[in-house]
Homo-oligomer: A and B are copies of this chain.
Amino acid sequence: MMKFSKKLEYALIALVYMSQRGEEQLTTSREFAGQFNIPQEVAGKVMQSLARKNFIRSVQGVKGGYQLATNAGEINLAELINAVDGPFTVVGCMSQEEESCGCDQHDYCNIRSSMSLIHNRIMAFFRSITLKDILSRRIAGLSGESFPVHFDRLLNPTDIK
C-alpha cells in the first residue's frame, strides 16, 4: 500500500546513475536499462518523461542519448513524482474536481480537512528532498556517521535498524 511506483524508482535510479557519470556524458536508455535490468521500453518512457520536464536533455539520432540538466541537483521529489506519475493526491478529492472522492453522501465527509493538511504536509516533505540530497546520502551512507544535515534533522534515530 502506498508504494512508490516503479516508474518513480526508475527515474530516481536513472538520475542518480547519470549523476555519477561525467556531467557531459550521454546515457542511452538502452544502456541504462541494461545496467539495472529494467525493460528497455519502460526505461525509455521514463526518460522521455524526464526530458519533457527538462530534468534531462535529450539528444536525438544515433550517438544520441540523455544528458543531465545543468542544475539537476535541485530538482525535488515532488516535481519528479509529478513528472512520471502525474499529480499526487493522498485522497481523491484533492485534484480540483471535487466530485467522487469516494466518501460522499449524507453528513458529508468527516475527514476531508484533515486529509488536506496531511496531503499538504507530505507534498512539502517531497518538495524538500532534492536529487542532491539523495546523492549525498548515498555517498555518506557507508561512513556510518555524518548524514546530510537535512536528513539528520528529519530522521528519528530509533528508526534506524
A residues with a Cβ closer than 8 A to B are 1-6, 8-10, 12-13, 16-17, 35-38, 77, 81, 85-86, 88-92, 102-107, 109-111, 113-115, 117-118, 120-125, 129, 133-134, 137-138, 141, 147, 151, 154-156, 159-160
Contacts and interface: CB of A to CB of B under 8 A. Distances in A.
B155 A124 contact: yes
B137 A103 contact: no
B81 A13 contact: no
The oligomer's copy count stands at: 2
Given A1-B85, A2-B2, A9-B102, 17 more contacts: A2-B81, A2-B88, A3-B90, A3-B91, A12-B110, A13-B109, A13-B111, A35-B105, A36-B106, A110-B138, A114-B133, A114-B138, A120-B156, A120-B160, A121-B154, A121-B155, A124-B156
